[in-house]
Amino acid sequence: MRDIAAERRDIERAIEGQTLCSKFAATAERLGDAEALVDKGPGGERRSLTWKQYRERVRDAALGFQALGVKPRSFGVVMARNRMEYVIADLGLMHAGVTAVGLYNTLAPEQISYITNHCDARVAVVDNPAFLARFRRDELPQLDHIVLLDGASDDPSVITFDELLALGRAVHARDAGAFDRLWRAVTPDDIVTLIYTSGTTGPPKGVIDTQRSALWVIESARRDVQNTEQDCTLSYLPLAHAADRFLGYYTSLVTGHTCHGSGRSFMQA
């Protein structure tokens, strides 16, 4: 018979004082040049990042958000296809102490406005100008910045993803310790994400998940699913969905599995 109380104590010990940021740091240090992310580029070509490259880009994104003035314990929304840039920006927000909120790519403009206002998002990460067209700026007075993964905009509050990373690299060049100070300020009780429900009646409800609760789910699942670092995960649901976010994207930060995008998930809305 399983001793559930003992298992619970063991899980608590395993995650005590940890965050996804600290787990990611340990995994990137351990695996370095091993493959971390794989997807398809605009022309269908295979793209990949090592754990070292992955974390460097997350560092640049986090410091870029900080340079824009996005404050810790604020909120940011992400609306994009499941692509490398999505998880880099999402993790950049996390490492800057900002709660990332995924928006389903099928949302109508009024739904985007509702969720963005409900969580008081100060920054948005958006896939391309077609996605951006669904953001009604006159309904989003609190949204200070938009980061566009592809394309460009004449709106002065919109910058490109490359510009965001360049801001972060400049900060790192001036202060090599800035990133460590930033992510180490993230605590187990900080909100890691809000998952807005899609199946409830009335407006979507924001479900609060903390760093601690995310690690609890991951550590619990690991005890029932035995695998090795040579295994990989396949992303097949939108990253706004709790299952893919927790059991794929977040879990890979802890286990060191290479995260592969399926053709549908990484390349289509």
Which residues, at least 6 apart from 5, have a Cβ–Cβ distance to it below 8 Å? none
Q: Considering the entire predicted model, what is its pTM?
A: 0.93
Give pLDDT tens digits for 10-43.
889 989 999 999 999 999 999 999 999 998 877 7
pLDDT band with cut points at 50, 70 and 90 for residue 234: confident
- pLDDT recorded at residue 269: 33
- pLDDT recorded at residue 229: 61
Q: How far is CA 254 from CA 25, 93, 136, in A?
A: 9, 18, 37
Count of domains for the chain: 1
Give pLDDT tens digits for 188-203.
999 999 999 866 678 8
Residue 73 in 3-state DSSP? coil
Minimal CA–CA distance to 165: which of 71, 251, 78, 85? 85
Least confident of 44-58, 74-88, 136-150, 236-250: 236-250
Q: Higher confidence at residue 110 or residue 247?
A: 110
> What's 210's domain CATH number?
3.40.50.980
| Domain span including residue 165 | 4-267
- pLDDT recorded at residue 260: 79
Mean pLDDT of 108-117: 96
Q: Which two tokens stand for residue 94?
A: 């996390």
pLDDT exceeds 80 at position 228: no
Q: Quick check: 135 and 112 in contact, CB under 8 A?
A: yes
Mean pLDDT of 71-89: 94
Q: Higher confidence at residue 172 or residue 238?
A: 172
pLDDT band with cut points at 50, 70 and 90 for residue 58: very high
H or E segment to which residue 184 belongs: helix 178-184
